[in-house]
Amino acid sequence: MNDNQLLRYSRQIMLADVDIEGQEKLLAAKVLIVGLGGLGSPVAMYLAAAGVGHLILADFDEVDLTNLQRQIVHSTSRISENKAKSAAKTLSELNPEIQITCIEKMQDAESLFTQVKQVNVVVDCTDNFQTRFAINAACVAAKVPLVSGAAIQLEGQITVFDFRNPAAPCYACLYQEDSDNLTCAANGVLAPLVGVIGSMQALETIKLICSFGTTLSSRLLLFDARHIEWREIKLTKDSQCSVCNAKHYQS
């Protein structure tokens, strides 16, 4: 690290859990963020500020006026601009030292796997089950940790699927593909809620990269914003899961 980096990241480096070694891991890390909306905004901004060296931003959607109530990485002047490109501009201003790659088109299974196997962590900030299952399958196949978050109305959740551990469950162990797909557009969401969940996703990502503390692997945290209550559910691997069962996992 040069003197400028030592100064920029000094408050993190002061932490014994991070130190110089952890900051160097962050600078050398590559993270894929899928979805640059309400969750992806704080995730991307905190990871950029923390010094994650290479962020891959994937989003084929465009900035809309209705997004700006909660998607803080975008601005009014960027309405109708691709969200990945819009986010890249904000992140470059925040930290011009990091590398940013934008993916502006929807990825098929093969291209998604190609991206996933090149990164240290994937952060799922999407809002539909079809994409979530595709991301999960790619992370299982590549054995790359997945940080998953969701927020709707006044409720949020976050968990980590660490596929470096063969005993870890996957997203398909938790949800069925025919589950009801609730969206912010149809059901609404309170702006600070996505900030809470997204910030925790960024925190878990940093912990995975720096290898400190206890992550949310095999634990699902549920957040009730109305009453500020957290509830934890232990997750176990589904032996009948068609995505991550032992036979599939080792193939």
Q: Give how far Cα 110 sits from Cα of 113, 135, 138, 237, Å.
A: 5, 11, 8, 25
* Helix pair 191-210, 40-50: axis angle to 10 deg: 40
Q: What's phi and psi for 229, nearest 5 deg? A: -125, 140
Instruction: Say yes or no to pLDDT of 48 above 50.
Output: yes
Burial annotation 85-101 (CB, 10 A radius, 16+ → b, else e): bbbbbbbeeebeebebe
Q: Among 4-18, 34-48, 49-63, 172-186, where is mean pLDDT lowest?
A: 172-186
Give the chain's length.
251
CB 82 within 8 A of CB 62: yes
Burial annotation 54-70 (CB, 10 A radius, 16+ → b, else e): bbbbbbeebbeeebeeb
**Over the stretch 134-154, which tens digit does the pLDDT of each residue have?**
999 999 999 999 999 999 999
Q: What is the DSSP letter of 164?
A: T
**For the chain, what is the domain count?**
1
Q: Domain with 141 in it: what CATH number?
A: 3.40.50.720
pTM exceeding 0.75: yes
* Helix pair 19-28, 191-210: axis angle to 10 deg: 110
Bridge partners (DSSP) of residue 159 are: 148, 220
When pLDDT is cut at 50, 70 and 90, the band that residue 225 belongs to is very high
- Cα separation, 88 vs 81, whole angstroms: 11
- Name the helix (H) or strand (E) containing 160: strand 155-161
Helix (H, G, I), strand (E, B), or coil: what is residue 5? helix
- Cα separation, 195 vs 45, whole angstroms: 11
Which residue would you say has higher pLDDT here, 100 or 106? 100
What's the mean pLDDT when you consider all of the chain? 94
The boundaries of the domain holding residue 223 are 3-249
Q: What is the DSSP letter of 119?
A: S
Percent of the chain, pLDDT > 70? 96
- Cα separation, 159 vs 180, whole angstroms: 19
When pLDDT is cut at 50, 70 and 90, the band that residue 89 belongs to is very high
